[in-house]
Amino acid sequence: MDKQSRSGSDNKIGVLIGGSGLIGGGILHYFKTRGEGEFELLAPNSKRLSLRDPDDIRFYLKQNTPDFIINTAITSIDSNPLLTLETNYLGTVNLARAAVDLGIPYIHFSSAAVLPTGENLGEEDQLSLTPDLANYPKSKLLAELALQEMHCKLGLDYTNIRLAVVYGAHDHKIQGFQRMLFALADQTMPFLFTNHQAMHSYSNAKKVPSFVYHILNHREEFSGRTFHFVDPNPVLLSQLILTIKSYMELKRPKEIFLPYPLAKFGAGCMVTLTRMLRRIGIESKMPPELMFLQNFYQTQSLSATEISQTSFVDPDPGSTIFTELPMLIQYYLTRWEDLNLIVPDDKIFFDPSKRADVFLNDPEKLLASLKDETSSPFLDTCIWPRGGNVDSETEDK
């Protein structure tokens, strides 16, 4: 089908893989609401297009003949080797092969997991590809190396975007930054599992869509290149943890830095305990992030110099993990409390507006306020633009 019959216009049609995840969902929402009608995204779910099935990729891309492909899909960091291989590496290669055949751009999302530890790491830095790498970084590194080779030998027009620790709302998996926030909210972090020096880079999920939109409009400048999409200034992990503790007025963690050997020993004991519990039929699982426990004690900061020297302009340069913390804490605590994933010790919910407090202790006040609330038309209070959409809460598989 030609583009006119598919979209009713001459818009460029893109295929977005991983559209229900944090990054993919943000890109999809941005292009629908702020794309200025230039681009249109198709976001098939895993039932329509599985990266593990080459025939799915062939059929869908032949049927829709897109003008570009964006891949934000990943497996969980603790997935088995076959799932990790087929999704993160083989799926990436097959999408890139299709992009070469169609002569279209391919936008790939990678991870700081492919980088060593150290300060001010550049885009040219990579880990060595060795068998002892964990499944997740090995698969992402393989994908990056394959894209570089396909660019040189086959003329693949691609851009590789590396993200560090991603923060943002509407991520309905408890992983990465959210895992740390959950541990603090659930009061399961008694001490600081880091040291005084460990710093990490952070990536603002809210800014990613505008960068994708920009690079699609400036292919010559961004083709064949890798970029670190991170906040310019890295963050002390201990400072971030203690700031969250202060915001939430928590008693723990104590300001005691747990040495790495002791933390490693404790994690090993917990792994042994969970295995024993599973053997007697009790479901238990360690947080997959613990495989990177050593990284909590080491610095990994990514240089943002490369992207700062391009034509892309940060849409909100003042926004950082610290400026976003109040919103993130309120969003995730409200969600987790609603799902009964956490129950505060004092049974008081995180509710700055005190609505839940009124509901619990003075329900008649709610009825008394009804007259004031219904004195004006409901729909005239806030008019949403036509075509706006609500972020999906569907988890990306």
What three-state secondary structure class fits 72?
Answer: coil
Looking at residue 266, its pLDDT comes to 75
* 68: in domain: yes
Q: Is residue 386 part of a domain?
A: no
Give the mean model confidence (pLDDT) for residues 173-199.
87
Contact 203, 167 (CB under 8 A): yes
Q: Which of 219-223, 276-280, 332-336 has the lowest mean pLDDT?
A: 276-280
Number of domains composing the chain: 1
Question: What backbone phi and psi angles, to 5 degrees, belong to 162?
Answer: -95, 130
Q: What is the pLDDT of residues 252-261, one digit of tens each?
A: 899 998 888 8
**Which residues neighbour 133 within 8 Å (Cβ) at sequence distance 6 or greater?**
127, 141
Indicate whether 387 belongs to any domain: no
Q: How far apart are the first and last CA of the chain?
A: 29
4 vs 344, higher pLDDT: 344
Sign of CA dihedral 132, 137, 142, 145: negative
Half-sphere exposure (Cβ direction) of 129: Cα atoms closer than 13 Å: 9
Angle at 305 between CA 299 and CA 307, to 5 degrees: 115
Q: Which two tokens stand for residue 121?
A: 């790491």
247-287 confidence digits (pLDDT tens): 988 888 999 988 888 887 777 777 676 777 677 776 666 56
Residue with tokens 């980088």: 115
Which among 153, 165, 162 has a CA at the least distance from the CA of 93?
153
Please state the rounded mean pLDDT for residues 209-235: 96
CA distance 10 to 3: 6
In this prediction, residue 288 carries a pLDDT of: 61
In a domain, residue 396? The reply is no
Q: Is 339 left (phi over 0), alpha (psi -120 to 50) or beta?
A: alpha
- pLDDT of 5 over the 90 cut: no
More confident residue, 110 or 261: 110
Judge residue 139's burial from the number of C-beta atoms within 10 Å of its C-beta, 0-12 exposed, 13-18 middle, 19 or more buried.
Answer: buried
Distance CA 128, CA 314 (A): 32
Report the C-alpha dihedral over residues 164, 169, 171, 177, rounded to 10 degrees.
40
Percent residues over pLDDT 90 in the chain:
54
Residue 352, pLDDT > 60, answer no
CA distance 108 to 223: 11
Q: Is residue 390 situated within a structural domain?
A: no
One-letter identity of residue 322: F
Whether 397 has a pLDDT exceeding 60, the answer reads no
Q: Identify whether 138 is part of a domain.
A: yes
Q: What range defines the domain where residue 267 resides?
A: 8-356
**96 — pLDDT class (breaks 50, 70, 90):** very high
Domain membership of residue 1 (yes or no) is no
pTM (2 d.p.) = 0.81
> Looking at residue 107, what is its pLDDT?
97
CATH code of the domain containing 181 = 3.40.50.720
Does residue 367 lie within any of the structural domains?
Answer: no
Task: Extract the tokens encoding 291.
Answer: 């495989």
